[in-house]
Chains A and B, each alone.
Chain A
Amino acid sequence: MIQVEGLTKYYGARAAIRDLSFSIDQGGVVGFLGLNGAGKSTTLRILGCVLLPTSGTVTIDGYDVTKNPHEIRKRIGLLPDTPPVYDEMTVGDYLAFVAQLRGVSGTQVTARVKEVEKTCFLEDRHGDPISSLSHGYRQRVGVAQALVHKPRLLILDEPTGGLDPVQIVEMRELIRRLKGEATVLVSSHILTEISQICDRYLVLHEGAMIADGSESVLANKLGGADSVEIDIVGGVDKAVTASQAVATVTEVTVWPSGAVHTLRITASSDVRASVVKALVSAGVDVVRVDKVQGRLENIFLKLTHGKETV
C-alpha cells in the first residue's frame, strides 16, 4: 500500500530524514518509534501530503505524493502532533465541517459524524465547544476528524502525547478498534505507550531507519545481548571478579541498594546458571536472579544508544 524509496527531507542545511526506504502492506498497525527529533513527524507529514520531500519517492495506493497528492489526500486521515481543531466550534459542527472538506456527500455527513463520535467515545460531547474540552477529549476529536471520511490509511502522530495513564489505555483501545477499518500508522517516543498495539515497528534514529520488524523479531535479533540481574549480599569485589571470569560475559555493572547490591551482567548467551555457580563458589550469597527481558524498551534503548542496525 505504501512504497517509500530513498526518502530525504532537509530543513535548510539540516537533514530531518535521510534516505529512508520501506514498504507497508495493507491492514494492521505499524508503529514509528524514535526519540524526539528522530524524523517521525517529518516522515508522517510527508505521507500525509502536508510536506513535500527534498528527494526520493513516496507512493500510496499507486499515487505519488508529489504528482497526485489530491488522490492520496482523499484516501488518508491525518492526526498531527497537536490536534488541528478550531476552538470556537462545537464538536459536531467541527466534525461535519471536516467530513464535507474531505468529500463526504451532504446526505451522509450527519450519519458519519454520529458514527465517529460513537467510535471515539464522544457521543456526550456533540454540542460542546471544543475550547471547553480537556486534552484527552481534544485528542479524541483529533482522531475522530482523521476518521470521519473512512480513510484507507490513518496516520496518527503521537496520539498518546500528553495523556494520563487512563486516557492512554483508552486511546490504545481506540486504535485497536480501528485495526479492521484502515491501515494505521502510529508514532510515539514512549515505547510502552504503543508496545501492545503494533504489528510491526519501524525504529528511526537521527533521521535514519535503524530497525524494522515485529516486537519478537526485534527482540530475537538483539536477544543475544540480554542481561541478567543478580542481587547479592556482601563481597562485591569478589562477585565482580567471579562473574567476569565466566565465559561470554561482556560487561558487569554494580549498583548498591542498602545491604544488597545488584549486579547487571551482560552476556551473549544465557549465563544465569554459570554465574550463580561461580558466585556461590566464591563465597557470595545470592538472593535474587532475574533475566531482563529483551522487551521493546530495552531494544529501543540499545538501538538508540548503541546505534546497532537490525
Chain B
Amino acid sequence: MRNVLLIARRELSAYLRTMSGYIIFALMLLADGLWFNVFAVPGPGKKSADVLADFFTGSSGITLIGAVFISMRLIAEERSAGTITLLYSSPVHDWEIVIGKYLSALAFFGVFFAASLYMPVLVAVYGKVSPGHIFAGYLGLMLVASAALAIGTFGSALTRSQVLAAVTSMVMVLTLTICWLLAKVTDRPLTEIVTGFAWWGHFDPFRNGLVHLRHVIYFVLVTFISLFAATRVLEARRWR
C-alpha cells in the first residue's frame, strides 16, 4: 500500500508541475459551466430537479472525455520516457503501479468535482432540491470517472504513444456508449445484454437521485476488469 500511495503522490505532483494538468482541468470546468448555463438551466418553468439532472448528464459526458485525456499519459509516458524501467526494477508489484496511477487520476477528478460543486449548490439555493439528489449525482459521476479512468489506464498500458492510447481508450468508451443506442434497435434477448453493457443506462438513475446497488456494481466491475487487464499487460511486457 505504501508503494501505491508513493506512486499516486508522485503522479499527482506531476499534474501540478506540468501545464497539461491545469489545461485539461480548466477546459473541463469551462465546458461544465457552459453546459450548465446553456442547456441545464434554461427552459420555461423547468423544475430544479430537472435542472440538476441535466447538469449531471452534461457532467458525465465531460467526465468521460476528460478521463480519456487524463489517463492517456499514465503508463504510455513512463514507457516512452524509459522511466517504466525504474518501476520495473524496484521492489514494486505491477498491480501497485497500476493502482497508484489510477488513484492519482481519480484524485484529480475528485478535485474537479469539488470545483464544479458550486453549480448544484446554486440550484439548491435558488430552487428546491434534496442534498441526497446532489450526493447521488456526484456518486454516479465518480463511478463514471472511475470506470473511464480504468479503461484509460488499460489503453495507456497497451502502447507507448499517448495519442494511440487516447484513441484506443476513446474507442472502448464509445463502444460502451453506443451499446445504449444499439439496444433501441435490437430485439430481445439481445436488447437486455446490450443494455447491460451500456454505461448510460446505469448512470441514468444516479442523475435522478437514485442509488441502486446493481448499478454501482456495474461501474465497479468495469473498473476492476480494466485495471486487472492493465496489470496483465504490464506483466506481459516483461516477456519482450
Binding site for B on A (CB under 8 A): 11-12, 45, 48-52, 70, 73-74, 76, 78, 80, 82-89, 97-98, 100-103, 145
Chain A residues whose C-beta falls within 8 Å of the C-beta of B10 in the assembled complex? 86, 89, 97
The answer to whether A76 and B89 have CB atoms under 8 Å apart is yes
CB-defined contacts of B7 to chain A, threshold 8 Å: 101
A145 to B85, CA, bound (A): 12
Tally of A-B residue pairs with Cβ under 8 A? 68
- CB pair B89–A73 under 8 Å, yes or no, is yes
Q: What would 8 A/B residue contacts be, using CB atoms closer than 8 Å?
A: A48-B85, A78-B85, A84-B81, A84-B82, A89-B13, A89-B17, A98-B90, A102-B91
Contacts of A51 in B (CB 8 A): 238-240
Q: Given the known A-B contacts A50-B238, A101-B3, are A84 and B91 also in contact in the complex, defined by CB atoms under 8 Å?
A: no
- B83: chain A residues at CB < 8 Å are 84-86
Distance of B195 from chain A, by nearest CB (Å): 42
Pick from A73, A78, A88, A98: contact of B14, CB below 8 A.
Answer: A88
Contacts of A84 in B (CB 8 A): 81-86
* Complex CA–CA separation, A76 to B89 (angstroms): 8
Quick one: which of B2, B85, B239 has the most chain A CB within 10 A? B85
Asked if B85 and A50 make an inter-chain contact with CB atoms under 8 angstroms apart, the answer reads yes
In the assembled complex, which residues on chain B have CB atoms less than 8 Å from the CB atom of A76? Answer: 89
Contact residues of B with A, CB < 8 Å? 2-3, 6-7, 10, 13-14, 17-18, 81-93, 238-240
Contact between chains at B89 and A11 (CB < 8 Å): no
Known contacts A73-B89, A84-B85, A85-B83; decide if A100 and B6 are in contact (CB<8 Å): yes
**Cα of A51 to Cα of B2 in the assembled complex, Å:** 24
> CB distance A80 to B82 under 8 Å?
yes
CB distance from A128 to the nearest CB of B (A): 14
Whole-angstrom CA separation of A101 from B239 in the bound complex: 23
Across the interface, name the chain B residue whose C-beta is closest to A101: B90
A80 touches B85 (CB 8 A): yes
User: CA–CA, A4 to B128, complex, Å?
Assistant: 73
Q: Are B91 and A74 in contact (CB under 8 A)?
A: yes
Contact B91 A50 (CB under 8 A): no
Q: Which of B6, B17, B87 contacts A88 (CB 8 A)?
A: B17
User: In chain B, what residue has the closest Cβ to A46?
Assistant: B238
Beta-carbon contact of A52 and B238 below 8 Å:
yes
- Most interface-central of A12, A45, A80, A82 (chain B CB within 10 A): A80
User: Which residue, of B17, B91, B238, has the highest number of chain A Cβ atoms within 10 A?
Assistant: B91
**Given A12-B240, A49-B89, A50-B89, 10 extra CB contacts under 8 A:** A48-B85, A51-B240, A73-B89, A80-B89, A87-B81, A101-B86, A101-B87, A101-B90, A101-B92, A102-B91
Note all chain A residues with C-beta closer than 8 A to B90: 73, 98, 101-102
Q: Is the Cβ of A145 less than 8 Å from the Cβ of B14?
A: no
Q: How far is the CA of A50 from the CA of B86 in the complex (A)?
A: 9
| Chain B residues whose CB sits within 8 angstroms of the CB of A101 once the complex forms | 3, 6-7, 86-87, 90-92
Question: Given A51-B238, A52-B239, A97-B6, A70–B91 Cβ distance below 8 Å?
Answer: yes
A73 and chain B: residue at smallest CB distance? B91
Name the residue on B nearest A71 (C-beta).
B91
Hey, which chain A residues are within 8 Å of B6, CB to CB?
Answer: 97, 100-101
Assess A103 versus B91: contact at CB under 8 Å? Given A50-B85, A52-B239, A145-B86. Answer: yes
Query: Which of A48, A88, A89, A145 has the most chain B CB atoms inside 10 A of its CB?
Result: A88
Q: How far is the CA of A167 from the CA of B10 in the complex (A)?
A: 30
Nearest-neighbour CB distance to chain B for A162, whole angstroms, equals 14
The 4 residue pairs across chains A and B that have the minimum distance between CB atoms = A84-B86, A78-B89, A88-B17, A73-B91
> Which residue on chain A has the smallest CB distance to residue B240?
A11
Q: Are B92 and A50 in contact (CB under 8 A)?
A: no
Q: A100 to B92: give the CA distance in the assembly, Å.
A: 11
What is the CA–CA distance of A129 and B218 in the complex, to the nearest angstrom?
43
Q: A80-B82, A97-B10, A101-B3 are in contact. Are A48 and B17 (CB under 8 A)?
A: no
Q: How far is the CA of A40 from the CA of B130 in the complex (A)?
A: 66
Q: Provide the residues of chain B in CB contact with A45, threshold 8 Å.
A: 85
Min CB distance B215 to A, Å, is 37
Q: Closest chain B residue to A80 by CB distance?
A: B85
* Complex-state Cα separation, A73 to B86, whole angstroms: 11
Q: How far is the CA of A89 from the CA of B13 in the complex (A)?
A: 9
**Complex Cα spacing A52 to B94, Å:** 14
